[in-house]
Amino acid sequence: MITALAETRGATQELVAPLSDAQLETQYTPILSPLAWDLAHIAAYEDLWIAHRHGGEPLLRPDLAAMYDAFETPRPLRGSLPLLDAAGARAYLDEVRARTFDVLGRRGEAGGRWRGLWPRQRDGTLVELVLRHEQQHAETMLQALELARVDGYVPVRRDPLPFPPRGAVADDPLDLVAVPGGPCLVGAPAAGFAYDNERPRHRVDVPAFRIGRRPVTNASWLRFAEGGGYERREWWSDEGWAWKEEYDITAPEGWSGDGREWRITGWEPLVDAAPVCHVSWFEADAFARSLGARLPTELEWEKAATWDQGTQPEATLGQRAFAPAPAGSRPGSASVYGCEQLLGDVWEWTASQFDGYPGFRAHPYPEYSEIFFGQRMFVLRGGAWATAARVATPTFRNWDLPQRRQIFAGLRLAADA
Ligand SMILES: [Fe+2]
């Protein structure tokens, strides 16, 4: 666990290393934080859960607790507070980490499970929670960088840019695979780490359906846009149309209008076969309607994401390539039903609103998931190239408002059988 903590911290530091202090301290958009806030928030969260709650120590910086609490200080306010500067945030991270190692070492728990910590949920570990929290904030920081179009940011690519499809790949968003009806188990098993909203695992009866073999591509989206996708009222929900009109939305976030898109490092030609990215739920819904299809429910998605022997297939994850792999370039990712690239590349919007599974119990705190239930947030599944492999499991549930486009999110289509 110590190794995993250190590796995660190394990755976080590598991600922000190319940025100047001024870039770290700027709030580029009210829907995301200044990156220096994320860094200090990672430290505050770790200190709260490890040294304070678990180790019984006083907080290292009680004066900062409210400012770096995600709920007490909503995102729009974060740019106007007397936040720690970049150097201060780095020092805070270092000091907290020293306390973490001290507490873990003292309790002799650095490598083991902390049974009994959550009486109802004995399989969780606080270290795992803290670790994944940092990894998820790394993805949030990448969202901010991409949305802000920070010039000259060059990340360390561990994998080459995604390879082209092997052979010709039919680019058809309506290439759907059939999934038979019948009962299946959804949610995370009782053993091992999982978030509260993935539990309890339960049996559902999903009627037969069809679902996209691959994610929807840029080429398909271009056909939608050029075919009046953003002008045909009948393809849009009332709410989606109102949002599109108010913000004059005519293409995915990051598209230039002349065949290029902003990727993390700058303007690049649109890759036809790449999964479309940075579309809102409203846009995804309109795209599906334009083809007489719909988005899959999250239970359909999870059923389609079934692999043999509990193994996970190859996937573009973990901030290694800094781009999604083209649709069709990962035949080894096929699930039992033949769905490819369910994990990685881009998050996939589903038709389902975020809510608790039957028998849900909050842990370790209601603010992780429960306060978002019933808020008309839509569920995304599968993770993106920017998501840590540890986080992107077939049962992991992400959620956001239907108008949001900062997520590395696309879609695949579905239809009734
Ligand atoms: Fe957080």
pLDDT for residue 332: 86
pLDDT for residue 112: 42
Summarize pLDDT for 309-368 with one digit per residue, the tens. 556 678 899 998 899 999 988 888 999 999 999 999 999 999 999 999 999 999 877 788
CA 142 / ligand 1 centre spacing (Å): 14
What value does the mean pLDDT of the chain take? 89
Q: Distance between CA 389 and CA 417 in Å, rounded?
A: 32
CA 9 / ligand 1 centre spacing (Å): 15
Is residue 255 helix, strand or coil? Answer: strand
Closest CA to 298 of 403, 139, 411, 374: 411
Q: Distance between CA 47 and CA 296 in Å, rounded?
A: 39
Residue pair 232/124 in contact by the 8 Å Cβ criterion: no
CA 46 / ligand 1 centre spacing (Å): 10
What's the burial of 14, exposed, middle or buried (CB within 10 Å: 0-12/13-18/19+)? Answer: middle
Residue 122 has pLDDT above 50, yes or no: no
CA 340 / ligand 1 centre spacing (Å): 31
CA 66 / ligand 1 centre spacing (Å): 13
Residue 164 has pLDDT above 90, yes or no: no
CA 399 / ligand 1 centre spacing (Å): 14
Q: Distance between CA 392 and CA 346 in Å, rounded?
A: 11
pLDDT for residue 12: 96
Strand-pair category, 176-179 with 209-212: antiparallel
CA 333 / ligand 1 centre spacing (Å): 30
CA 78 / ligand 1 centre spacing (Å): 13
Q: What share of the chain is helix, strand, coil (3-state, %, to 5)?
A: 35, 10, 55
CA 258 / ligand 1 centre spacing (Å): 37
Residue 121, H or E segment: none
CA 360 / ligand 1 centre spacing (Å): 21
CA 188 / ligand 1 centre spacing (Å): 22
| Count of CA atoms in the C-beta half-sphere (13 A) of 242 | 4
Higher pLDDT, 393 or 109: 393
CA 135 / ligand 1 centre spacing (Å): 10
CA 364 / ligand 1 centre spacing (Å): 14
CA 231 / ligand 1 centre spacing (Å): 38
Tell me the pTM.
0.92
pLDDT for residue 158: 84
CA 41 / ligand 1 centre spacing (Å): 7
Q: Distance between CA 54 and CA 103 in Å, rounded?
A: 8
The token pair that represents 283 in the structure block: 């846009």
CA 42 / ligand 1 centre spacing (Å): 7
CA 89 / ligand 1 centre spacing (Å): 15
Residue 57, H or E segment: none
CA 261 / ligand 1 centre spacing (Å): 29
Name residues with Cβ closer than 5 Å to ligand 1, which is an ion.
Answer: 70
CA 372 / ligand 1 centre spacing (Å): 14
Using pLDDT thresholds of 50, 70 and 90, give the confidence band for residue 138: very high
CA 44 / ligand 1 centre spacing (Å): 9
CA 45 / ligand 1 centre spacing (Å): 7
CA 137 / ligand 1 centre spacing (Å): 6
Strand-pair category, 266-269 with 378-381: unpaired
In the chain, the amino acid numbered 303 is K
CA 126 / ligand 1 centre spacing (Å): 14
Residue 121 has pLDDT above 70, yes or no: no
Exposure string over 97-106, b if 16+ CB within 10 A, otherwise e: bebbeebbee
CA 133 / ligand 1 centre spacing (Å): 6
Residue 263, H or E segment: strand 260-263
Closest CA to 233 of 216, 223, 245, 219: 245
CA 223 / ligand 1 centre spacing (Å): 38
CA 342 / ligand 1 centre spacing (Å): 25
Residue pair 133/145 in contact by the 8 Å Cβ criterion: no
pLDDT for residue 119: 32
Summarize pLDDT for 268-309 with one digit per residue, the tens. 999 899 999 999 999 999 999 999 999 999 999 999 998 765
CA 248 / ligand 1 centre spacing (Å): 31
CA 6 / ligand 1 centre spacing (Å): 19
Summarize pLDDT for 182-222 with one digit per residue, the tens. 999 999 998 888 999 999 999 999 999 999 999 999 999 99
Closest CA to 103 of 41, 63, 49: 49
